[in-house]
Each structure stands twice: as C-alpha cells, then as structure tokens.
Amino acid sequence: MPAALAAWGSGGSGHPYALLADRHDGTVVRCGDAVAKAHAPDTDPEALALRLRIAGAGPLAGVLLPPLRTGTLHGRPVSLWPYGTPVDPERPEDAPWEAAARLLAALHRTPPDALPGPVPPMRGPAKLARALRRLALALPPATGPRHPEPPPAPRLPEPPPTEPAAPAPRRLPPHLPGPAPAARAVRAAAATLPAWVRGERQAPPGGVLCHGDLHLGQLVRHPAPGGPWRLIDVDDLGLGTPAWDLARPAAWYAAGLLAPEVWLRFLDAYRAAGGPAAGPPDSDPWPELDLAARALTVQGAALALAKAAAERRPLDGAERLMVDSCARIAAFPPELEPQAPS
C-alpha cells in the first residue's frame, strides 16, 4: 500500500516518498510537499466525504488544514493534503499547547449549521470501543476460575488544589503486578462509564463540532516550515461533547504525565479564546471534564496493554501510569445516567 499510495499522491510520477505511518487505522506517506493518506479499511466513505468537505469549508479556514483532493485506491478511501511541519517530539518544551487550545476553541464555536451537512457524530466513543476490542484480542478476559485478586487500593483523600482553575493530580495506587490484573482493572474502569461513552449506544444528540482525537500529533505548521498552526486528521470529526477534545491532556495531567503549569496554560488559553467546555475562568473544570478524561484514560491504558502484549514487552513508565489510573477509576461508582453533550 505505501508505494501505491505514494504513486497516487504524486500523480504517478514515481518520486521518492517517506513513510510516515502504517497502522491498522491508516497509512500515511509524504510525497514532496504533499501528504497522502489511505484511511482505515472500515471507514464509512460517506461520513468521511462529509468530514473532508467540512475540512475545506470557509468557516474553518485557519483552523483545519483543507485537503487537496480525494479518491479511492484498492477499495480504500484516500486523500491528499498539503505538507505541514509537525510538532517536534524532541522538544517538548516547544509544544504548542496554547495554539492547540485556541484552535479547539475556534472549532467548538463554529456553528454547525454554517457547515456542509449533515454533520456526522464525533467518533471519540468509537475509538474507545476499538481500543477495548484490541485489548480483548490481546488479553482475552478469563472465563474459568481465577486466582484471588488483592483487594483494591484504598482511596486516599485528595490534597486541596493549589490553583482554583484545576484540581491537584490525584494520587495513584501501587503499580499492578501483571498484565492479567492490569487488563481487569482497565475493563473495570470502562464499566464505570456510560454505555454511549464506550460506543455501545448512540450518543445523546446535540453538541458542538469536535475534532474527536486531539493530541499534539494532530497539529502542523502550514505553510511549512513556520506558518501558523493548523489541526489535521478529520477522520473522527463531528458533533459531540467538547470536553472530549480536552480529555487527553486532562487525563495526562490527572495521571501525572503533564505538568500542572502546562495543563493550566492549555486550559487558560482555551477559556480565554471562548471555548465552551471547562466552565468559566477561575472555576473548577473537573465537573465538565471528568467523564471524558476517564474515557481517554481507559482508551490509553487499553491500547498500552494491547501494544505491550503484541510486542512481548513490559509497560513503560507512562503506560504504567495510565493503567494505574484505571485501577483508581475502577473504584468509582458507575455512571447511571448518560451525560449529554453541551
């Protein structure tokens, strides 16, 4: 697929290409000043076509990078995009957290009725469901008698927050001893979430335009190398709860992976730009962000365990923190009522 995709992206010229990604959810190659993507084999072509039209819509100029052209290759939808300079993973101190926050706020403020429609639902819950399926394939749930498990770690009182805008990171239980107990903790954490969050039921109607899979890899500078930041990858774009787009950095902050000062910079920039999630300035954002942050914690931990099992390796430090967070989440009472997008 990479060579054929590069040939399609370069118009059959046969120029050299660079493979940027080749995963189950898509293949991406760079062809000179353009990037070609073959979307996941199970992609809904009609929904993707709508998302691609939305990416090129006038109200989102300056927010989303628009595609150059689209097509089909070997039965899979493909798209061609301008090349943009990505975030440098070797310089985390330069990560554009404020720019990401402002772009999200602009996306969330865009009226859906000003866009080509009908706007499809945001696919965040579908990605969580996919992560849990990957975990089940990598580490199937036990069906026979199980060895007794140690009692859950006690829930420790949280220290008072040092900043009024966000709670202090929550304390984590000791690291779980092996993949089977870790997988059970992740599944137990998932069970505390409403069915729609796990992708098992239709999400409540309404909401705002969301990216659906926000992380720093979804930002590029365009025109390269030093143009303004833009959001890329619209495969999960759609209507939903805006908290989902803030959930990954919120989950990293709660797990201790994102420094409090970085989290507050991101949160303050989002609020200052008029973002509708996370409440007004100087308020506690956690009532609005908690559910989505727990969902992204479960998703990250499920993927970490599945990848580690496939690669026959132990979890690294960041992956252990996400799994340990699930052990704490599992002690929460289940969400009995779905929380509708706001």
- Residues 298-316: tens digit of each pLDDT: 999 999 999 999 999 999 9
- Answer yes or no: is pLDDT of 113 > 60: yes
Task: Return the pLDDT at 279.
Answer: 87
Structural domain boundaries, residue 55: 1-82
Would 311 be classed as within a structural domain?
yes
Would 342 be classed as within a structural domain?
no
Angstrom distance (rounded) from CA 165 to CA 264: 7
Task: Return the pLDDT at 177.
Answer: 56
Angstrom distance (rounded) from CA 161 to CA 164: 7
Would 227 be classed as within a structural domain?
yes
Would 224 be classed as within a structural domain?
yes
Would 335 be classed as within a structural domain?
no
Mind listing the pLDDT tens digit for each residue in 82-97?
999 999 989 988 999 9
Residue 143 pLDDT grade (very low, low, confident, very high; cuts 50, 70, 90):
low
Mind listing the pLDDT tens digit for each residue in 259-281?
999 999 999 999 999 999 998 88
Above pLDDT 70, what percent of the chain?
A: 87
- For strand 229-231 and strand 219-221, is the pairing parallel, antiparallel, or unpaired? antiparallel
Task: Return the pLDDT at 1.
Answer: 86
Q: Under a CB-based contact definition with an 8 Å cutoff, are residues 323 and 305 in contact?
A: yes
Angstrom distance (rounded) from CA 297 to CA 24: 21
Average pLDDT, the chain: 87
Task: Return the pLDDT at 146.
Answer: 45
Could you tell me if 293 and 167 lie in one domain?
yes
Q: What b/e sequence results for 281-304 when a residue is b if at least 16 CB atoms lie within 10 Å of its CB, and e otherwise? A: eeeebbebbbbbbbbbbbbbbbbb
Task: Return the pLDDT at 304.
Answer: 95
Would 180 be classed as within a structural domain?
yes
- Answer yes or no: is pLDDT of 235 > 80: yes
Residue 47 pLDDT grade (very low, low, confident, very high; cuts 50, 70, 90):
very high
* CATH at 35: 3.30.200.20
Mind listing the pLDDT tens digit for each residue in 145-171?
444 444 444 444 444 444 444 444 444
* CATH at 202: 3.90.1200
* Domain endpoint, select from 45, 62, 82: 82
